[in-house]
Structure formats: structure tokens, C-alpha cells
Amino acid sequence: MEDKLKTRLGEKNYQKLIGIDNPELHQFIAKYVELCNPDKVFVCTDSPEDIQYIRQETIRTGEEKELAMEGHTVHFDGYYDQARDKKNTKFLLPPGVDLGLNLNAMEREEGLKEIHDIMRDIMRGHQLFVLFFCLGPLNSQFSIPAVQLTDSGYVAHSEDLLYRLGYEEFVRLGKSARFFKFVHSAGELDQRMTSRNINKRRVYIDLEDETVYTANTQYGGNTIGLKKLAMRPAINRASKEGWLTEHMFIMAVHGPSKRVTYFTGAFPSLCGKTSTSMLLGETIIGDDIAYLRKRDGVIRAVNPEKGIFGIIHGINSEDDPLIWKTLHSPGEIIFSNVLVTEEKGVHWIGKNEAQPKKGLHHSGEWTPGKKDAEGNEISLSHPNARFTLNMRLIENFDTEFDNPEGVAVGGIIYGGRDSDTKVPVEESFDWVHGVITIGAALESETTAATLGKEGVRKINPMSNLDFLSIPIGKYIENYLNFGEELKNPPPIFSVNYFLRDADGNFMNDKTDKAVWLKWMELRSHREVEAIKTPTGLIPKYEDLKRLFREVLDKEYSEKDYIEQFTVRVAENLARIERVEAFYKTKVPDTPQIVFEVLEEQKQRLSLAREKYRDYISPNKLSFTKKV
């Protein structure tokens, strides 16, 4: 093996590789160099010279093109390669292993044979980049080393922006490294340097060997292995070891007397996750993924990433001032599938500037009204267009980002799109009640932009359904167990920014979320009282009135408060029925306590209906003293 590696890598790259004392790693790399058969292999260390080499190669091959702003580049995926390929994303499972009805899976040996057949000689004519990263802070209990093999300079460049460099971590760990493995090839490329054979696009996840394979695709959600793809083996490993891998932001809410309280938050797509984590005046550790562990009876969290692979659609100067400023400043940023103007600037859907008359994007030359081969009009940028950057470019970057101990979690937030049921902010009674009635029961309405039909309610436990690699019932059981032995479990909150009145108008302004966050921060320290309702704890009017004035310099009327925080009994009962039906029909291993807690909530609502009827003003309910 050593002679073959030395021959394929050359002396310089071979010396870099054997600087890591890990025979398993060497065997893995040797196997896929032989199988994929690249023309050239480059082993990337943490050195600035190696990182710069990848940048130069990405520009040289045309996978990225330089833009007018210093450090900015653009990448185009193929016209039909613009999103995660859910159909061809499959778990490879050994005989007898069943992860539940919601997971797309196939027999492991069959899947490995197919992906290896697809990958045989797939890198001929290409250069293979061997990259080392670390998920989570270096030299930490949270750390998971990872090796990425890819023949795409764009993927290599993206991962360097998104993840902590890990070559030295591999050197430090040596034979003890328990690492994730990722193998990717864009496959045969067309004249525009995009994947040609997308009919053979595959994303296969081997949980047994903690390896992810992707072929014949370039779109980041399919190819940037350490992102959502890495969540699957991480969730599986966490389940075995007693910690959690979550689809959550981590942010700091700044309270009275310069106090800082850290919150995690999970929201389905288009429900306010990014806008919450990026609020002016607060600071951010991560916008997407979190690892949670217990330490000395306290939940601590880290962001396994160091960057953002964000949707650029709709970003504008008014609603997203922090990201807007970053995207219009010099710095290393990759734009993908946006419109490039004649001046080598970029434009996207929802950018509040005059629309260009022409430009270049993922379909080639573009002008308004251009149609594709199926007769569909092509928008000026793809709705899933992205930006990739290191979070250090953002002004509200939190100083505790690289703390190897993580940050203590003061509260957990779940948010969905709900037009008629949930109040704007609510706290659960306790950990079990919050996990079940807020997290496991997380429900969100679809929008026209996502499915072509508005108002379809989807249950998405902890906003993590798409990424689970264990049965849903086991996942919820893990959550319930995780709360045990905590000295003071952080409160669990729900937020809903999308409540509408009888005329269909939103009851909340976009900026109101800043107030809900400040109230949650005060509640996490039990510094304000709350009102007990049948479904949870809600704010007192006097506290919100003061916070609206302090935070937004805005008057908040009691009329608005009553409309927003009225308990809608019939709607809440209907919601419980939907949640119960989901778990009875879709999740055969649901823990019995889920149904017991939901039944208790149903009984509280029914008793309240007998006393107050279907719509209960918060002013009719009793105060609880700093519970």
C-alpha cells in the first residue's frame, strides 16, 4: 500500500499524509485513489500555502470566477442540479436494521456495490483534493475529525470557509482519531464545468462505516459533506453516546447589566431561523447546526461549523442589515447561482436594488423572460441561490465561538409557521412538557414558494426530520433522557411570527421578535412572572409593554396583546389531534409518555373551554409567581 500511495501522491504529498500516524486513514485514501483514479492528488494541510493553492486551482479550472469585489467569487451549478436530491439520498443499512418509515434506505452491500461501480475511474482527468477538517472546536470533547476526498475545487474551497481546519488535529490524535469520511466526485463535466451525468447522481450514507458518498453532482447540499450530510452519522453516533446533534442556531441574547444568555433554536425553512439568529444587538455562534452535551448537570453547545452556507433569496438591506453589509464588503465569499452583472457584481431575487436587464447565471446568458427547455420562465437568480462565508466576516460574531467547553444553554426555542393557533411566545411547564408539546409536536404551514400550495401543515419533530438517522421514537426518547440529571433544565419556548387576524393580516411586525427574545432571556433567569395557560406560560402585558418601549421604542397596546395571546382552544385541540394521528400512524415506536402528556394538555384545554369557551383572553387567567 505504501508504495502505491507514494507513486500516486508523489513524494511531497505522501510526506504530508504519513505525517498523520493513522493506518486506517491511509488505507481509506489508498482505496479511493485506486478506485476513482484521479490524474493528480493534492494533500491539503492547514498551511496558508496549501489553502491558497486550492483557491488558485478553483479559478484556473473555471469552477469559480472572480467578481469585482475583492475576495468575491461566483460558482454555477448545472441547471438541473440546484437542490438536495432527496430521492437519491439513501441510507445503506445492513440486514435487519430498520430506521423507521420516514427514512429512504437500501441494502448496504447493494448500495456499496452500486456507488463503487459509479465511482470507478470517475476522477480520470481530474485532480483529487484530500482535505482534513474538525467538526466542532479543536481539542474538545465535542470534536469530530473528518476527511473529505473531492475532485471539485469549489467543494474544497467551500469546506475551507465552512469548517475548522483539521490536519493538525489528525496529527495530534494519530491512531486514536474516530473520524467521519466523505468521498465526492462531480463526475464528467460539460463545457460550463458542471456535472453532466446527473441521471447517475447519488448521495449514499453508510452509518456502519460513518462514510458519505456523493457522485455526479456539484450543488453544495449534496456535495459539502460536512454539512447536512454529516448530521446523519453525527445523530447516529450521538444517539449511542448520550448527546444530541440538532438542526439549531446558537445565539447570545444580551440581557440587563451586560448579562449574556445563550439560546439554541430550531425552525423549519422559511420560519424565521436566520432572521432570529441575526438580530441587531445580539451575537451569534451558529446559524444552522449544534452539538449539545451535558457537563456537570448543564447543557453546553457548540457549532460544528465555522461558516454559513446561506440562502441569499430575499436578503435585503432593511430586513437583513448584518448579512447585507457583509455581502457588500471585501472578504472571501462564494456566491452560487446568482446573476452576475456586466460590472461583475451580483444580483438575486428579493435584492432591493434595480433589476439588471441582462447578466450571466446558471442557465447561461440571461435576459428577462428567458425560458428553459420545458417552457418555464427562468428567474434572474435561482430561488435556492447561496452564499458561503466564514462567520468571522459578520459584525455580530460571538467571542465564545471557539470555546472548547461550549456555551451553557439558557433556553431552547422552537418556531414554526402557524396562522391560527400558537401565540407569539410561550414557555413550557417543564422539560418533558416542552420536549413533547413544543419540540416533538413542532408543526409548520407550507408556503407557495415551497410546495405550490399554501397552508399545508407538516409535523417536523425538532425541525430535524429530514436529517434523522435513527427512528423518530428513539430520537424523542433520547431527548427525554437527555433532560435527566440536569441541575436546572433550560426552559423550552415556542415562538410563532406568523399569527394572522380574521382579515388575514399578520398580527406581529417583523421586528417584534426582538422583544420575544428579551422576554425569554428574562424568563430563563426567572426575573419576570408569567401567566399560566392550559398550554404553557405566557408574558404579562406590563412586561411586554415595557420591553417594547425599551427594545423598539414602540408603544404596545393592550388590545394587540389580547388579540395575540388569546388562547385559541378549538385550534389547539385540533392541533393535538393532528400530532396524535402523526405519532399513531407514522411512528410505531412512539414512547407512551408522548400520548400521556398530549392527553393531559387536551384535558386542560377542555376544562378551560367549559369555563371560558373557545377563546380565552390572557386577562382571565391567573398569574404564576416566577415559576
Quickly tell me which residue has 466564514 as its cell: 390
Name the burial class of residue 576, with classes exposed (0-12), middle (13-18) and buried (19+) by CB atoms within 10 angstroms of its CB: middle
Distances (CA, A) of 508 to 61, 402, 443, 461, 505: 49, 35, 19, 25, 9
Q: Annotated catalytic, 134?
A: no
- Nearest to residue 439, comparing CAs of 491, 396, 390, 401? 491
- Cα dihedral value 405, 406, 408, 411, nearest 10: -160
**What grid cell was written down for 420?**
391560527
CB proximity list for 426: less than 8 A, separation 6 or greater: 438, 493, 494, 533, 535, 536, 537, 538
Distances (CA, A) of 141 to 51, 58, 62, 294, 346: 27, 34, 40, 11, 41
d(CA 617, CA 621): 7
d(CA 412, CA 421): 20
DSSP 400-413: TTT-TT-EEEEEEE
Distances (CA, A) of 503 to 418, 419, 497, 561: 15, 11, 17, 17
Quickly tell me which residue has 427512528 as its cell: 471
Main-chain dihedrals φ then ψ at residue 316, nearest 5 degrees: -140, 165
Name the burial class of residue 100, with classes exposed (0-12), middle (13-18) and buried (19+) by CB atoms within 10 angstroms of its CB: middle
Q: Positive or negative, the Cα torsion across 98, 102, 103, 107?
A: positive
Catalytic residue among 36, 44, 134, 271: 271
d(CA 321, CA 335): 18
**What grid cell was written down for 107?**
441494502
Question: CB neighbours (10 Å) of residue 555?
Answer: 9
Chain mean position to CA 171: 29
Quickly tell me which residue has 436594488 as its cell: 353
- Nearest to residue 471, comparing CAs of 588, 596, 595, 598? 588
Q: Are 326 and 393 in contact (CB under 8 A)?
A: yes
Q: Cα-atom radius of gyration of the chain, to the nearest Å?
A: 25
DSSP 279-314: -TTSEEEESS-EEEEEETTEEEEE-S-SEEEEE-TT
d(CA 306, CA 188): 31
Catalytic residue IDs: 271
